[in-house]
Structure 1
């Protein structure tokens, strides 16, 4: 699964064979959550509160890029890297 961003120990990845709704995977230590790009709600798994808050903050800043990456994945193309949270 391609890693599209990484910050504060959180790894953001996106599959190119995924199902709707548009989402990304956030991994932190042994935790993983699937987050809907449109609503920024957790649709699967879980993250610790602080890691989830940082992930959502990052996703708000990069929602348009996340949707572009989702579209690339649906075309079976590699998603582009997205700047980390600073």
Structure 2
């Protein structure tokens, strides 16, 4: 599971062979959340509120790059 970014201590990861909808994993300590790239909604899991707010803000600013990374992973299944 490659870590592409670390935002305020939260690892941003994408998996090969992962399920749809296109999403990324944000992981810190015992917390993990899956966030849908297009809508930036939480698919499952949780993060502390302050961390989640920063991750969603970052993801909004980097949506196109996240979409490209997702497509790259899907092509390399």
Higher RCO (C-alpha 8 Å, min separation 6)? 1
Higher percent of residues as helix = 2
5+ residue gaps in structure 1?
78-86
User: RMSD over aligned Cα, in angstroms?
Assistant: 1.0
Normalising by the residue count of structure 1, what TM-score does the alignment of the two structures yield?
Answer: 0.86
Report how many aligned residue pairs link the two structures: 77
> Could you give the per-residue CA deviations for residues 56-80 of structure 1, whole angstroms, max 9, x where no partner exists?
0110110000000000000117xxx
Normalising by the residue count of structure 2, what TM-score does the alignment of the two structures yield?
Answer: 0.96
> Could you give the per-residue CA deviations for residues 13-60 of structure 1, whole angstroms, max 9, x where no partner exists?
000110110000001221000000000000011111001001001101
